Amino acid sequence: MIKVGIIGSTGYAGGELVRILTGHKEAEIVWYGSRSYIDKKYAQVYQNMFQIVDAVCMDDNMEELAGQVDVIFTATPQGLCASLVNEEILSKVKIIDLSADFRIKDVSVYEKWYGIEHKSPEFIKEAVYGLCEINREDVKKARLVANPGCYTTCSILTAYPLAKEGLIDMSTLIIDAKSGTSGAGRGAKLANLYCEVNENIKAYGVATHRHTPEIEEQLGYAAGEKVLLNFTPHLVPMNRGILATEYAKLTKEVTYEEVKAIYDKYYADEKFVRVLDKDVCPETKWVEGSNYVDINFKIDERTGRIIMMGAMDNLVKGAAGQAVQNMNLMFGLKETEGLELVPMFP
């Protein structure tokens, strides 16, 4: 059994890690880290775990934890993992970081967009960007994985095949995305109160959202060029889900069949990416609670553009599910272990 430690186990992503890993045949959680609830029973924080998890919450002592487990998940705010990790720890244990600390290769870009000093830039080059469908072989050899963000996972996977094949003009790419409120985390914030969110939709982080450079960097690798794009996120009054609608100018005239063949080239053998039937638009309700990403596209012959669409659960494929998928790869397990979750409906 793989021994697992979680730092930040009582946030939404951490709680989802616990839910998924309790059903994993090859993993056992031995450390439920939570600075806010030290010595409190985990099931008192999340009552859904009553008589399922009997452990108490512990602190975030990564050095002590590294001697007790095989892998550490850090589901924590930006900056914490980078402040804790060091060579001695990485020599003992694998780390899957759900924050942005090691996602962006240029430390100056990270510090600009996140507004904090990076505490361990010496590990940025080594860290593998854990988008399994793209970096699977590198993930298998990694000791430090940067688990991608929710908006970024959906946005990148939706456009990746067409960027890779040079079918879209990257300078024209616009991404419009919506997220449920769990994407903002479990901390108490005025803007996330029920009365503030309900019966409302709003754009936020316009031209400044910190997932922008992550999307640009990864799609830039795919396209083989520097990418600048517009990314606008929106908050919608639902618990879970990401919906990305992306627009770009086509570089040549193409048919539906030609574009579908490109998506199939990259995703036909991917368990967790579902390219939908013609004219079926992705919806968040059909992926909720699962590790699936539903993708489709529509060619707009009138404007010479293509409209790409993707939907997924921000807490599963956008956070905890993808982290477990990375763990499975890192330890040579069946990639889908613990993740064959049928989407919940209603």
Catalytic positions are 150
Q: Name the β-bridge partners of 230.
A: 174
What single DSSP character describes residue 128? Answer: E
What span, in angstroms and rounded, lies between the C-alpha atoms of 231 and 219?
13
Q: Name the β-bridge partners of 52.
A: none
Structure tokens at 147: 């688990």
What span, in angstroms and rounded, lies between the C-alpha atoms of 171 and 212?
14
Structure tokens at 254: 């193409």
Stated as kind and residue range, the H or E segment containing 140 is: helix 132-140
Q: Name the β-bridge partners of 7.
A: 33, 74
| DSSP H helical ranges for 39-123 | 42-45, 62-66, 80-84, 87-90, 107-114
Structure tokens at 77: 């705010």
| DSSP letters spanning 259-271 | HHHHHHHHHTT-T
Stated as kind and residue range, the H or E segment containing 258 is: helix 256-267
What span, in angstroms and rounded, lies between the C-alpha atoms of 73 and 323?
8
What single DSSP character describes residue 206? Answer: T
